[in-house]
Structures are given as structure tokens and as C-alpha cells.
Amino acid sequence: MIVPNLCRNEEGYETSIRDSDSFAMLVLTCLTSMYFIHSLYGFIIISLCLLILFQGYSRYIQRRAADERKHMLESVQRTATATLGHHRHDWMNDLQLIYGYLKLGKYDKLGSCVERIKEQMALESKISRLGIPALVFFLQSFREVNRSIDLRIEIRDELQLNHMLRVEDAEELTEAIVETIKNFQFMGRSSWDEVLELHMSLYQENGEVIAAFCPEGEAGNAEKLQRYIEEWHPDRRVLAERTDSNRFSCRLRVPMKSSVQNTNEVNVCL
């Protein structure tokens, strides 16, 4: 689903570049003509042509912006619909499994099945309460938009990142999480058809929000991961570091708002 959208964006970008070049050439032609024409009427006509060009190009830009917003909204709607479809499919599978156990009289297996459903519901609830819409949407729809990584999410405690982080830090953390997962997609697999099992933990520690990443097994290119960490921009508020030099893992750290840190310190004292 992502590939067609990316192709469309690239084609739209190339079309926009060509149209901008054409507009620039027309404007340059009109300005050059004004230099050589000394007639008042000719000057007025070329000025009117320039005015028409600018008005037309302004309308064209507005129309393209509206089309881009429409395409983006349609893409989000398709992803949301597909994600809801996956959730509905999972619920149907769970209900059929419970019904099968009941029909066969295997009541001893119902407990583990219901417990697994409860754990999944608790995780979905924790994700929805993170408070960063872009991050919530990314995590909830990840299985639909990326089939090459089996992302196992763990959220410790009750994190409400919208209250714990500044707005700009929350946005940067979301971008850093998406960027890191995409890099693990290429660093952690030995072949294109391999599905990487990646474990991601979100928690708070020592006045910081931590996002830790650790693939299952021994797969991974440690040199590429080290290069990824070393190339991390030093001016970013979100810091990236290796958690263990002997393991293919890393974590992201971002400081919480000072008011939240003070509250946590008071709660510890009490």
C-alpha cells in the first residue's frame, strides 16, 4: 500500500518541478522582452501578461496543495480502514477459538485464551493513552503498513507522553522512533523475505522517557547500528545510544518536562 503512494508523491514532485521551470521560463521571457521593448503599449501588455501568469500560477499552487491534502487524507483513511479490518479479523479468530473450545468441552484451555485477549486489550489501551496522535496511529497501524517486521510492543506503567513531554520533544521522539524502526528493518535482516522480530519498550526512567529496541535472536548488523548511532545529530533533543555493545540493540532518550520530574520526585519522597 505504501509503494503506490510513494510513486505518486515522486511523480507529483517531478511534475511540480517541471511546472515551476516552465513558469520561470515564461516570466524570464516576459522580463527580457520588457528590456528590449520601448513602447508604452508593449510595456503594458507584457505587464498584464506577467500579472496573468502570477495569478494563474498562484491558483495552480493552491489547487495542487488541495490535491495533496486530499491524497494524504485518502491514504490515512485507507490505512485506518485496513487497520480496523485487521483488528476485526483478530477478534473473529479469538471468538472462533473460544467457541471451538466451548464446543469441544476443552474448558481448561479457555483460561489461557481469555488471558491472552486481556493482555492484548491492555496493550491497545496503553497505546491509545500515549497521547501523541501520530505515534498512536503509527503503532496501531504498523502491522498493516509494514509486513517485514513483527513489532512486539511493551509499555510499562501508564505513560501519557502528551503530559510528560514538550510538544516539540513529543514530535521529535515520534520521528526518531519511526526512523529507528525503519533502520532496524534494513539492519536486522539477513534476507529480504525474512521477517524481523523487534521488541520495543516504552518507559520512564530517571526523569527521561525511554524507547528501547532489541531484535529477537542473534540477527543484525552491529557495524551498521554503530554507524547509525554515531551519525545521530548531536543537536537533537532525543539522544540515541547503544544499550549493550555485545547485543544488536539501542535506545532513545528524551528528558521529561521539569514539572513532571518534580512531581515524580515528590511522589518518591512520599
Q: Supply the DSSP string of 5-30, one letter for each residue.
A: HHHHHHHHHHHHHHHHHHHHHHHHHH
Of 27, 61, 84, which closes a domain?
84
Instruction: Note the pLDDT tens digit of each residue in 159-185.
Output: 999 999 999 999 999 999 999 998 888
Q: Are residues 243 and 170 in the same domain?
A: yes
> 6: pLDDT confidence band, cut at 50, 70 and 90?
very low
Q: Is 245 domain-assigned?
A: yes
Share of the chain above pLDDT 90, in %: 21
- Judge whether 216 and 199 are in contact, CB under 8 Å: yes
Q: Is 96 domain-assigned?
A: no
Burial of 180 (0-12, 13-18, 19+ CB in 10 A): buried
User: What domain range is 6 assigned to?
Assistant: 2-84
256 or 12, higher pLDDT: 256
**236-257: b or e for each residue (b if 16 or more CB lie within 10 Å)?**
eebebebeeeeebbbbbbbbbe
Q: Are residues 65 and 170 in the same domain?
A: no
- The domain total for the chain is 2
Instruction: Note the pLDDT tens digit of each residue in 194-231.
Output: 677 889 999 999 899 999 998 876 556 677 888 888 88
Does residue 248 carry a pLDDT above 50? yes
How many other C-beta atoms can be found within 10 angstroms of the C-beta atom of residue 65?
10
At 208 the three-state DSSP class reads strand
Supply the CATH number for residue 201's domain.
3.30.565.30
- In the structure grid, which three cell numbers stand for residue 101, read together? 473450545
Q: What is the pTM of this model?
A: 0.66
> 72: pLDDT confidence band, cut at 50, 70 and 90?
confident
